[in-house]
Amino acid sequence: MFPRGKADGVAPRQRSWLRPGEHAIVTGGSSGIGLATAAALADRGAVVSLLARGSERLESAAAWLRRRGAVAVHTAVADVTDRAQVTRAVEGLVRAAGPCAVLVTSAGQSRPGRFLGLPDEAFTGLVEVDYLGTLWPIRAVVPQMVARGRGTVVTISSVAGLIGVPGYSAYGAAKFAVRGLSEVLRGELAPHRVRVACVFPPDVDTPQLAAERRWRPVETDAVSGTIAPLRPEVVAARILAGVDRGRPVICVDRIGGLLARFGGVLAPLLRRYVDHRVGGALLGAASGVRGSRRGAGRWRGGAGGSGRPARSHRARRGERGAAGGPRRRTRRESV
């Protein structure tokens, strides 16, 4: 399922952040990006610890890693939103497998929906899982990394943490928070030789993506649903390649890379693109065609808007001609 061996062209001397036999802890490690990254770390000889809520899925994931040749696999059941549980779990894993050299915070959830329709619990819940669920494991392992003068923290944000995507007001805000935390920690921990990298994946073919589709409004699909999801193992390989190269910002697809590098410069164009796609999606939904691009022009809606697509200059000129005399013939109509 996951490719083995060297596939990223990075020389072994550049991989000093992870030595064979060192301990890597992966939260959300029972499925998706977390499990794929754990497998990639195990292929490099790491002792891997998986931390997640569900004991059955954890044991199934650990058994699968052992079958494919992992040096050693440990598990711990904990809810990442509960700091005390996370601290106890990390302490137990460190006693069993040694100090943590690499932490990957992959636990997360998504709950798309229009802002006006989302319950308050969606916002508080995603802050607890996506942001605090990233913060508490970092708080548990970073002190020992600083004491040792060595360590790597990899956080998982999202492309929705680079640009505001309609339908992700709760999820995007939490992922922007992960991005902000990672940027601050990178600067603070660098003098202690602790590296911090933040990953910005697009849609990934995981159980989470399958679960969220029933909540996605048409506007979200119009903006992000046109891109085929990546496989978790592809994302994992690109995460490790990014850490190998010492990148604090890891984008695993071209769109994410462009947003990370030029998002500020491209912001006006990005806003126009989003408005264009959302307008078309809403018109398509109104006509009964989900995701239709018909009429995906400017949208006069929302506060102060009429809720109708803007008419083009040519259409208005034609209407003026019909009302006030003969309409001027266009070049295309000329004989």
Q: Which of 175, 182, 224, 292 is catalytic?
A: 175
Number of neighbours of residue 174 by Cβ within 10 angstroms: 29
CA dist 42 and 15 (Å) reads 14
What are the C-alpha distances in Å from 30 to residues 65, 77, 114, 272? 10, 10, 30, 39
Q: Which of 171, 182, 224, 292 is catalytic?
A: 171
| Nearest by Cα to 249 from 240, 259, 260 | 260
CA dist 318 and 330 (Å) reads 10
- Asked if residue 208 lies in contact with residue 156, where contact means CB atoms within 8 angstroms, the answer is no
Q: Which of 157, 158, 169, 182 is catalytic?
A: 157
Active site residue 224: no
Q: Please count the helices (runs of H) and the strands (runs of E) in the chain.
A: 11, 9
- Asked if residue 197 lies in contact with residue 153, where contact means CB atoms within 8 angstroms, the answer is yes
CA dist 85 and 89 (Å) reads 6
Q: Where are the beta strands (DSSP E) in the chain?
A: 23-27, 47-52, 73-77, 100-105, 151-156, 194-199, 249-250, 299-300, 308-309
Active site residue 49: no
Active site residue 157: yes
CA dist 76 and 84 (Å) reads 13
Structure tokens, 274: 């989003």
Q: Quick one: DSSP state of residue 113?
A: B
CA dist 137 and 89 (Å) reads 9
Among all residues, which ones are annotated catalytic? 157, 171, 175
